[in-house]
Structure 1
Amino acid sequence: MFSFFKKQFISGTVLALSALAAGCSTDVDVYKPVSAPIVTNSVETTVVWSASVGSGVGNYYTRLTPAVDEVRVYAASRNGDVFALDRETGSREWHIDLDDEDENDDRRSARLSGGLVLQYGTLYVTSENGYLYAIDAEEGTLKWKAEVGQEVMASPAAGYDKVFVLTITGQLLAFNSETGEKIWANGNDGNTVSLRGDSNPVAISDQVVIYGTSNGKVNIVSQETGVLIHQLNVNNANGATRIARLNDVNSTPLSIMNEVYSVAFNGNFQGFLIPEFSSMWKRQYSSCLDLASDSTDIALTDVSGHVYSIIRVDGTQRWANTRLTYRGVTAPAYFKRHVIVGDYEGYVYLLDDATGEIKSMRMIDSSGLYAAPVSDDDYLYLQSRDGTLYAVDIEEKKEE
């Protein structure tokens, strides 16, 4: 149900806001999830392997996503477990429990919250306890840890020689990627009311780091100095109440060559050109989830659970799928000419990337899917709320 957290940060889920709105009526719950659609599958999904990666995230608003390289897939649970699994078989290669670290002794758990991020053989993950951890991806040993000093929910961003962490108050910090030494800290968005959750920062080359803010902007910051170079205005706050005026950019900015795309809650979806800092186009969509892209389009899940495909070049809508209204739909991913999303009941849906038609749905895990799917050239990786990781493959059904 609806609740306030530390420093009045509001839970960043549509279900929480929906519960508040629904409380105004005793007759009809307009935010009730629709029933799972009936789909005649024309695409087969195969679970290649599944493996436990700890206790998962439970009912917390924690979007821990797997990371993958040519050999392994890495996954973590909120309580501190981090695993490396063979990418082809799912067999365990190593495990480390960050809950064993001294700073977590008097806490409920390690409360891992942001990651996993893989760069140059090192895994990075952050925690709500205010720590950044660097783990050797080959050996599974802790290379270093750094105290951030504030709660962190966003995934870190790894550059060439620095790691960037965004705290829940909007402060951005840079750490040396080899030693964990803090280099600089900058900024604070100043908002006392915002969605619980943060835009993940994105490191672009060795020049800038970009991230969304709780006041409707995307900040562009120098990696070297931490100085704010520019702000892109994604959305302006409107409305009579603090809830109505929420316009957080919780979605991670999407960087493609010299383009940046960003969407705000209660607001707009925009494409920008960098370094001109000019708007390519602006469209009315509202989301707090990350975007996905292929060579021509951007996929977006909005606050109602509707999934859209937007043409990058001009921002026009290729298609919309509205069959999953209020089903707690995840952020999308592209995989083998499909847009993939999951939902709160644990179904995974394969939408045709050209039409938006649901080509297949399958119950994967009844504990539910919350984090966005992750894909490589071979498999789709889905992590359930209870901590089971699935490697899935798909293929068109053969006509009989």
Structure 2
Amino acid sequence: MGKLSRLLLAVLVGAGIAGCSSEVDVYVPVPVPEFENQIDLEVVWSSSVGTGVGKFFSSLHPAFDAERVYAASRNGDVYAFNKKSGSRIWHLDLDDEDENDNRRSARISGGITVREDFDTSVILLASENGWVYAVDGVKGELLWKHYTGEEILAAPAIDGDRVFALSSHGQLFALNMEDGSELWSTGDDSSQFAVRGDSSPVPVQGAVVFYGTADGKLNMVNQERGVLLNQIKVGVPHGSTRLARLNDVNAAPVVISDELYVIALNGQFQGFNLNNPSRPVWVRQYSSVANPAYDLSDIAITDQSGHVYAVIRTDGSERWSNTQLTYRNVTGPAYAGGYVVVGDYQGYLYWLDSATGEFRAKMELNSSGIYTAPVADEDTVYVVSRNGTLYAIREQRQESED
């Protein structure tokens, strides 16, 4: 389908708009919830990462390794900062690359993905212009770039000596990690009427790659040759219009040891055992396009209405639900200590008790809005605003007494 159609659908879904017949019903966001903060939060540091993503769809998010946190803007600015102080370590402008000379910008949309090996790190990004970039995380130097010829919206993935990138037309590319050369490509759902946005591929144990499709399925592909091994139906289309029948698997599947979890738009949330991925252990009626998060016992999800849920991994039963952020374009969740953290379109971050789902704190960061899920590194949460400000936030620490 055309890019304009995908963009329109992203706006419809992201704004909490759904077609129930031949017309479109618009749902108004609830006001910011009012409550007393029960924990004290502080912005440890903040820094600009360029112009951000503006009003465009983007799945760009911060990422970190042992020493650095990385962030990027749509126009190609990529930064590394010291995790503790927030001081800039390096800056790389991918817009300076020759392939972007005649483009509006580098249009970076997929990433950031980090692979850390001892004292080295490599970060991966992908663009709507069809490029995958590998950057030295320590030095900020471009290692290689590969042109796929396909728009890429989702973050690439790394497993061993392979990089995997999924295009917006459902084509999965396997690249050599050392030089970016193409090993194989497979799949195509370009004829699908779909939400703008794609499931990031999830490689497992050097053997297979899982990725979602626009027609409500989860594909399992052999890493060596790109052969389709299995296909799991997750989305369940319903309704009388094409919009109402959307059932994309946009959220990245979650693999935890021998457990597999996958959720679809207008579909189902399913839990599997990797030893038998053809039959779900449990099936529950939730739908989402945002990546889930997990802790030792639960999986947290955010649905299209802005409701946040915690589901028990073993049986899929609901531990709690928080429905007080309805239609506030709530981001995907992140577990940070004993909390689930989400952001919204007005730039608020919320800390929910991971055991009960009750609000524990909120912080207003930036009126341009939070568009992608926070990233948690132990007790520190990193989040980037639409206008390109990166924040490091944590619960205030008590001063030690002498």
Secondary structure of 1:12's counterpart equals helix
Aligned residue number for residue 169 of structure 2:
169
Counterpart residue type for residue 75 of structure 2: N
Query: What whole-Å deviation, never above 9, does each CA across 1:31-80 have from its counterpart, x for those lacking one?
Result: 10000010110011110000001110111110211110110000000000
Aligned residue number for residue 130 of structure 2:
130
* Residue 5 of structure 1: how far off its partner (Å): 4.8
Counterpart residue type for residue 229 of structure 1: L
Higher deviation after alignment, 72-81 or 267-276: 267-276
Please list every run of 5 or more consecutive structure 2 residues that lacks an aligned counterpart in the other structure: none
Contact map agreement 1:251 1:287 (CA 8 A) in 2: yes
What does 1:341-352 align with in structure 2 at a 5 Å threshold? 341-352=342-353
Counterpart residue type for residue 148 of structure 1: T
Of 92, 105, 125, the residue aligned with 1:109 is: 105
Contact map agreement 2:19 2:241 (CA 8 A) in 1: no
Counterpart residue type for residue 298 of structure 1: I
* Residue 286 of structure 1: how far off its partner (Å): 1.3
Contact map agreement 2:14 2:304 (CA 8 A) in 1: no
Aligned residue number for residue 360 of structure 2:
359
Secondary structure of 2:280's counterpart equals strand
Higher deviation after alignment, 234-243 or 277-286: 234-243
Tell me the distance in 2 between the aligned counterparts of 1:104 and 1:291. Answer: 33
Tell me the distance in 2 between the aligned counterparts of 1:92 and 1:378. Answer: 21
Tell me the distance in 2 between the aligned counterparts of 1:146 and 1:15. Answer: 31
Secondary structure of 2:40's counterpart equals strand
Aligned residue number for residue 212 of structure 2:
212
Contact map agreement 1:168 1:198 (CA 8 A) in 2: yes
Contact map agreement 2:330 2:345 (CA 8 A) in 1: yes
Aligned residue number for residue 63 of structure 1:
59
Counterpart residue type for residue 212 of structure 1: G
Counterpart residue type for residue 64 of structure 1: L
TM-score with structure 2 length normalisation? Answer: 0.94
Secondary structure of 1:324's counterpart equals coil
Tell me the distance in 2 between the aligned counterparts of 1:282 and 1:313. Answer: 12
Tell me the distance in 2 between the aligned counterparts of 1:16 and 1:380. Answer: 25
Percent of paired sites with the same residue? 51
Counterpart residue type for residue 389 of structure 1: L
What does 1:221-240 align with in structure 2 at a 5 Å threshold? 221-240=221-240
Q: Quote the RMSD (CA, aligned, Å).
A: 1.9
* Residue 191 of structure 1: how far off its partner (Å): 3.5
* Residue 7 of structure 1: how far off its partner (Å): 7.0
Q: 1:276 to 1:22 in 2, by over 3 A?
A: closer
Higher deviation after alignment, 275-284 or 83-92: 275-284
Aligned length: 392
Query: What whole-Å deviation, never above 9, does each CA across 1:69-103 have from its counterpart, x for those lacking one?
Result: 11000000000000000000110000000001111
Tell me the distance in 1 between the aligned counterparts of 2:192 and 2:90. Answer: 41
Query: What whole-Å deviation, never above 9, does each CA across 1:299-331 have from its counterpart, x for those lacking one?
Result: 000010000000000000000000000001000
* Residue 192 of structure 1: how far off its partner (Å): 2.9
Contact map agreement 1:44 1:397 (CA 8 A) in 2: no
Aligned residue number for residue 187 of structure 1:
187
Q: 1:330 to 1:47 in 2, by over 3 A?
A: same
Please list every run of 5 or more consecutive structure 1 residues that lacks an aligned counterpart in the other structure: none
Tell me the distance in 2 between the aligned counterparts of 1:22 and 1:320. Answer: 29
Tell me the distance in 2 between the aligned counterparts of 1:336 and 1:30. Answer: 36
Runs of 4+ in structure 1 deviating by more than 3 angstroms, as ranges, are 19-25, 395-398
* Residue 238 of structure 1: how far off its partner (Å): 2.0
Q: Does 1:12 align with 2:10?
A: yes
Tell me the distance in 1 between the aligned counterparts of 2:342 and 2:360. Answer: 12
Higher deviation after alignment, 8-17 or 126-135: 8-17
Q: Does 1:50 align with 2:35?
A: no
TM-score with structure 1 length normalisation? Answer: 0.94
Tell me the distance in 1 between the aligned counterparts of 2:323 and 2:397. Answer: 23
Tell me the distance in 2 between the aligned counterparts of 1:8 and 1:169. Answer: 13
* Residue 223 of structure 1: how far off its partner (Å): 0.8
Secondary structure of 1:103's counterpart equals helix
What does 1:1-400 align with in structure 2 at a 5 Å threshold? 5-6=2-3, 8-9=5-6, 10-13=8-11, 14-16=13-15, 18=17, 24=23, 31-120=27-116, 121-277=121-277, 278-395=279-396
Tell me the distance in 2 between the aligned counterparts of 1:60 and 1:154. Answer: 14
* Residue 204 of structure 1: how far off its partner (Å): 1.1
Secondary structure of 1:196's counterpart equals coil
Q: 1:359 to 1:271 in 2, by over 3 A?
A: same
* Residue 233 of structure 1: how far off its partner (Å): 1.4
Tell me the distance in 2 between the aligned counterparts of 1:112 and 1:218. Answer: 25
Tell me the distance in 2 between the aligned counterparts of 1:21 and 1:367. Answer: 30
Higher deviation after alignment, 8-17 or 36-45: 8-17
Tell me the distance in 2 between the aligned counterparts of 1:134 and 1:383. Answer: 21
Higher deviation after alignment, 200-209 or 289-298: 200-209
